[in-house]
Chain A
Amino acid sequence: MSPRAADRATYLVALLIAALFLVPLSWLLSLSVRTPQEVYLGAARYLPEDPTLENFRLVLTDRSFGLHLWNSLKICALGGAGAVAAAIPAAYAFSRFSFRGRTGLMVAVLLVQMVSPLVVLIPLYRYMDALGMLDTHLGVIGVYVALGVPLSVWVLKSSFDRVPRSLEEAAEIDGCGRAETLVRITLPLAGPGVAAAFILNTMMGWSQFLVPFILLTDTGKVPISVAIFNFAGSTSASTTQLLAAACLVAILPALALFVAVQRLIVRAVSGGAVRG
């Protein structure tokens, strides 16, 4: 295959993958600007005749919507920060120390990432119950931390790998202990990786549904994803257009964040070495 043909094939595949995500998203957009009457026309009229922003106005002025957004932000940001903090020592050890079974452990960490939270949700529920942490944000944050650690370890390890050891040795000769070197030299230089790990975790938390759905019952505490579900389940079908608008508003922060920082993430995951 010629390079140009290969390029075209790559674009084609990318387009297909994008379509897979964009079709439902555009459907959501279509629904969110309809009047209740037009909702019943379904796919027959993809472009509504009389588009309206009324649904967005209703959603955004709803007090409880703001509360749920705030819940999401709090749980996700703290969960992301916690995961990064917990992953730093492990990632540093994987990057800097050579010990027996290092590669095996790295793979094991990745395997944990593959386990769906669904599988552990029932035992998790019991743990949280035993700990008295059901229906608390702290409990959910704890689970987010645990779920975020594997990916964080990998992202952080690869960005620690890119900080030359001689910089740490120079710091050691300048009188720093290991912890001080980590805080003053390695972490600042691995900054893009730390930020990327934090943002990836926060976005994963944002899209999390099952964990808060199971662990939180107080409707005032649930994040936006669960709140929308509750809303959909508890009211008549005539709210479909409101639901669509709410969904769009809910994914907007994550989307905006991703667009803003995608360069950073790409750089952190694939970038070259730090140079001194």
Chain B
Amino acid sequence: MDKTTAEELRRAGAAEGARLNLEGIAKRFDGGSVAVSALDLEALPGEFVVLVGPSGCGKSTTLRMVAGLEAPTEGRIRIDGRDVTALGAADRDVAMVFQDYALYPHMSVARNMGFGLRRRGASREETRRAVAEAARILELDDLLDRRPGELSGGQRQRVAMGRAIVRRPRLFLFDEPLSNLDARLRISMRTEVKRLHARFPTTTLYVTHDQTEAMTMADRVVVMNAGRVEQVGTPMEVYDRPASLFVAGFVGSPPMNLFPARLEAGALHAEGRRILPDVPAGLPDGPVMAGLRPEALRLADPGAQGAMPARLDLLEPLGAETLALWTAEGLGEVWVRHDARARLAPGLRAALTAHAADLHLFDPGTGTALRSGAFENRSAPLGSPS
């Protein structure tokens, strides 16, 4: 969902779920380590926002501050405009799915799911009905009398989600809920979480270190690094216009190929070669970090202008496409996305080329983007106004 859709939903009052605002929140732990610094974020009602970043970058800490499990050292947290910074977790009306699920081992699945409702004063009958409904949606009907210890990992994961949706909270929090599942289950649960969100469009803050999970699930992605937000945007914005070297190297699988280069009179030079003429950047001459997505590189005639001689090192056939690692003059090691039917073999010598329009440029000192590739122009859907 892009910004306008969420905005429309909000105006129409169609979205259940709260608006969440984080205003300059920071967390410094007692030992002095800074987990999160000066973080601003808004999640619109019904929006699915994914916090993504490498391990230790402060995602969980951010989520736990929103939940009320951790108090921020600075800043305010608002839910629907109300300042909840000083409220405990019990008073925030949020639901959370923990990485280790945190199911109560001494209670049946049904009691696990109903516990929150009962504690908040729902009657036995109301609770039973809500649990039955959630169990039906998550296909847990047959497991209601079991203990968590008697369930498989995937089943526990579903119970943890059931416990969260039973309460119909205004805000859902997920902390790497799929990371303990095997790959196949992870992909199917990914779909299930999205389907659940389509059904109950509750505002969701979802934490993961897996950029694929972030890209596939998010309305909006928040890329974090070392306690700070690097970029906020839709998955495609983050992919097409990474705001920094960090984002460029983190998002995408394989990530963007990055190599040091120089701008000289509107052309890109690397290792003494002129790689790309006519870089339409209007940037001053000097050193840059250059980036090309694996799909921006193509095989070329070795004689063609700007073609870079390259040797194929290894192949990763994925079925629909093939990834190849090349060593190219000027670029160093680069991943290239090829058609699955391309005739390739390790050791092959060929040449690679790219369009100047696809080039990303970053400040080598600060890492901020100077220029982004122009994918969004070329991939505009047919019939859309230009």
Residue ranges of A at the interface with B (Cβ–Cβ < 8 Å): 98, 164, 166-167, 169-177, 180, 185, 188-189, 274-276
Interface bin, chain B: 20 to 34
B residues within 8 A CB of A185?
104
Listed A/B pairs (6) with beta-carbon separation below 8 Å: A169-B98, A170-B96, A173-B69, A173-B96, A175-B119, A274-B105
Give me the 7 closest cross-chain CB pairs, A-B, nearest first: A174-B116, A175-B119, A166-B102, A170-B102, A172-B89, A276-B103, A175-B120
A172: chain B residues within 8 A (beta carbon): 68-69, 88-90
Q: Please, which residues of chain A bring their CB within 8 A of the CB of B264?
A: none
Chain B residues in 8 Å Cβ range of A173:
67-69, 89-90, 94-96, 116
What is the CB-to-nearest-CB distance from B166 to chain A, in angstroms, rounded to a whole number?
Answer: 10
Most buried by B among A166, A173, A174, A276: A173
Other than the known A172-B90, A173-B69, what 15 A-B pairs have Cβ atoms closer than 8 Å? A98-B30, A166-B100, A167-B102, A170-B98, A171-B104, A171-B115, A172-B69, A173-B94, A173-B96, A173-B116, A175-B116, A274-B105, A275-B149, A276-B102, A276-B148
**Distance between Cα atoms of A188 and B111 in the complex (Å):** 15
- Taking the nearest CB of chain A, how far is it from the CB of B374, in angstroms? 45
In the bound complex, residues from chain A placing their C-beta under 8 Å from that of B67 are: 169, 173
Interface residues of B in 114-130 (CB under 8 A from A): 115-116, 119-120
Q: Which residue of A lies closest to B119 (CB)?
A: A175
* Residue B48 interfacial (CB < 8 Å): no
Q: Shortest Cβ distance from A270 into chain B, in angstroms?
A: 19
Q: Which residue of A lies closest to B120 (CB)?
A: A175
Contact residues of A: prevailing secondary structure: helix
A172 to B69, CA, bound (A): 8
B11: CB under 8 A from chain A? no
Residues of A within 8 A of B96 (CB): 169-170, 173
| B184 at the A interface (CB under 8 A) | no
Q: How far is the CB of B1 from chain A (nearest CB, A)?
A: 26
B98 CB → nearest A CB, Å: 5
A188 B106 Cβ-Cβ under 8 A: yes
Q: Which residues of A contact B94 (CB under 8 A)?
A: 173
In the complex, the chain A residue whose C-beta lies closest to that of B147 is: A276
The residue on B at minimum CB distance from A172 is B89
With A169-B89, A170-B96 known as contacts, the answer to whether A189 contacts B106 (CB < 8 A) is yes
Chain A residues whose CB sits within 8 angstroms of the CB of B95 once the complex forms: 173
Q: Does B101 contact A (CB under 8 A)?
A: yes
Least CB distance from A27 to B in Å reads: 47
Give the CA-CA distance A276 to B94 in the complex, in Å.
Answer: 21
Pairwise interchain contact B104-A167, C-beta atoms closer than 8 A: yes
Please determine whether A169 and B69 come into contact, CB atoms closer than 8 angstroms: yes
Whether the Cβ atoms of B90 and A177 lie closer than 8 Å is yes
Residue numbers in A under 8 Å from B30 (CB-CB): 98
Q: Which residues of A contact B115 (CB under 8 A)?
A: 171, 174
- Asked whether B119 lies within 8 Å of A176 as measured between CB atoms, the reply is yes
Q: Given known contacts A169-B69, A176-B90, is B105 in contact with A189 (CB within 8 Å)?
A: yes
Contact partner of A169 among B102, B119, B163, CB < 8 A? B102
How distant is A181 from chain B, measured CB to nearest CB, in Å?
9
Q: What are the residues of chain A within 8 A of B116 when measuring CB–CB?
A: 173-175
Report B123 CB to chain A, min CB distance, Å.
15
From B69, B100, B119, B167, A164 is in contact (CB under 8 Å) with: B100
Report yes or no: A166 in contact with B104, Cβ–Cβ below 8 A. Answer: no
Q: Which positions 82-113 of chain B face chain A at CB distance < 8 Å?
A: 88-90, 94-96, 98, 100-106
Cα(A188)–Cα(B103), bound, Å: 14
CA distance A172 to B119 in the complex (A): 10
Contacting residues, chain A, for B102 (C-beta < 8 A): 164, 166-167, 169-170, 276
Contact between B89 and A275 (Cβ–Cβ < 8 Å)?
Answer: no
B114 CB to nearest A CB, Å? 10
How far, in angstroms, from A189 to B116 measured CA to CA in the complex?
18
Pick the residue among B90, B105, B106 that contacts A175 (CB under 8 A).
Answer: B90
B12 to chain A, nearest CB (A): 30
A275–B98 CB distance below 8 A: no
Contact among B69, B90, B105, B120 with A276 in the assembled complex (CB-CB below 8 Å): B105
User: How many angstroms between the C-alpha atoms of A109 and B167 in the bound complex?
Assistant: 43
B32 to chain A, nearest CB (A): 14
Q: Tell me how far the C-beta of B83 lies from the nearest C-beta in chain A, rounded to whole angstroms.
A: 19
* A154–B235 alpha-carbon span in the complex (Å): 52
Instruction: Closest A residue to B105 by CB, please name it.
Output: A276
- Measured in the bound complex, the distance between the Cα atoms of B148 and A274 in whole Å is 12
Q: Write out the residue numbers on chain A whose beta carbons fall within 8 Å of the beta carbon of B98.
A: 166, 169-170
B176 to chain A, nearest CB (A): 12
Flag if A275 contacts B105 (CB, 8 Å): yes
